[in-house]
Amino acid sequence: MEKIKIGIVGYGNLGRGVESAIGKNPDMELVAVFSRRNPENVQVKNPQVKVLHISEAEKFVNDIDVMILCGGSATDLPEQGPRFAKMFNTIDSFDTHAKIPEYYAAVNEAAASAQKTSIISVGWDPGMFSLNRLLGEAILPEGATYTFWGKGLSQGHSDAVRRIEGVKGAVQYTIPIEEAVERVRRGENPELSTREKHLRECYVVAEEGADVERIEREIKTMPNYFADYDTTVHFISEEELEKNHSKMLHGGFVIRSGKTGEGTNQIAEYSLKLDSNPEFTSSILVAYARAAYKLNKQGEFGAKTVFDVPVGLLSPKSPEQLRKELL
């Protein structure tokens, strides 16, 4: 079997998860990990895998079929997405929903001009939840869609808090408001504001001497992340962060509530309960890496989203196998 050759940019929680996921897919192999850190300080699971500085990536344009970008959405991916799309087929998990259109445009221009294929905003939201929102609206055009996240640790929001000056470490939890969830499940179709659906709770380790009032203010007013939510900020010690907030639990659900006839209510729900948010997201990235490889072989260039990818391309099985075994 000819294996799809994968590269990883960034080796944090997501990068480590991608390496593990590749190991569970026999049609793939990991060629190299690229990091901004000193490669000697990056310990990957497989000692046969090259670890190189990110500046070395362009030397591998003929050796890597798909590059999986594992950086954060706040500052990494806006620069790395278009940059790497000029050299490789790419997958990323850009999750700043409000900025997806402009990010798509930048990556599309880069990938299309280089005849590469880049699938952006891959994960469970955006990603799997996006697909379920689309399915719900298409099947039940008269109705409303509700997305709830958590309770769980959000990687993207936690990363955004850690980028604030004076923050040494931080995690952020997204918490659904139970009353809102139950109203939706009862088929009431309530109109809910962003603030009425979720709470956000941050646990922050401040650097010694940092202005904690400024840090709290910057968190609560951060656009696209916290400004539209009731947010609580707790300042804690490094020991407490490590002891009580090191797990990566998450989950959530998409509910479509609609009518198909007079007095006929229909409710469709897709839910996730995750022991490891980054490992599940990584597994989705790897499946879409397979799809990007296939799309590129078919001459489908430019940026794509989960809406543009035939779901059968995610599987290593042939169309004949899929029709026989899963249809």
Could you give the angle at the alpha carbon of 51 between the alpha carbons of 50 and 53, nearest 5°?
A: 130
Residue 57: per-residue pLDDT: 98
The residue assigned the tokens 């793939």 is: 28
Q: How confident is the model at residue 288 (pLDDT cuts 50, 70, 90)?
A: very high
Q: How far is 80 from 162, CA to CA, in rounded Å?
A: 19
- 137 C-beta neighbours (distance < 10 Å), count: 14
Tell me how far apart the terminal alpha carbons of the chain are, to the nearest angstrom: 25
Q: Three-state DSSP class for 251? A: strand
Residue in 290, 245, 313 with CA at minimum distance from that of residue 66: 290
Determine what percent of the chain is predicted with pLDDT higher than 90: 95
Q: Is residue 285 within 8 Å of 23, Cβ to Cβ?
A: no
Mapped to the 3 state alphabet, what secondary structure does 20-54 carry?
A: HHHHCCCCEEEEEEEECCCHHHCCCCCCCCEEEEH
pLDDT for residue 80 is more than 80: yes
Residue 140, SS3?
coil
- Cα–Cα distance for residue pair 99/242, rounded to 1 Å: 32
Write down the pTM of the prediction: 0.87
Chain centroid, CA 162 distance in Å:
17
| Start-end of H helices in the chain | 13-23, 76-85, 100-113, 128-139, 155-162, 178-185, 194-197, 212-220, 238-244, 277-297, 319-325
Among residues of the chain, what percentage have pLDDT more than 70?
100
**Segment 26-69, tens digit of pLDDT:** 999 999 999 999 999 999 999 999 999 999 999 999 999 999 99
Give the pLDDT confidence of 275-286 residue by residue, as tens digits.
Answer: 998 999 999 999
Helix (H, G, I), strand (E, B) or coil at 55: helix
Report helix, strand or coil for 183.
helix
pLDDT at residue 254 greater than cutoff 80? yes
pLDDT of the residue at 55: 97
The answer on pLDDT for 136 being more than 90 is yes
- What is the C-alpha to C-alpha distance for residues 67 and 64, in angstroms, rounded to an integer? 7
SS3 content of the chain, % helix, strand, coil (to 5): 40, 30, 30
pLDDT tens digits along 178-236 = 999 999 999 999 999 999 999 999 999 999 999 999 999 999 999 989 999 999 999 99
Task: Please write the tens of the pLDDT for every residue from 103-129.
Answer: 999 999 999 999 999 999 999 999 999
- Arithmetic mean of pLDDT over the chain: 96
Residue 263's pLDDT is 87
What is the predicted pLDDT for the residue at 74? 85
Distance, C-alpha 99 to centroid of its chain: 14
Residue 154 binned pLDDT confidence (cut-offs 50, 70, 90)? confident
- pLDDT for 201: 97
Confidence at residue 142, expressed as pLDDT on a 0 to 100 scale: 95
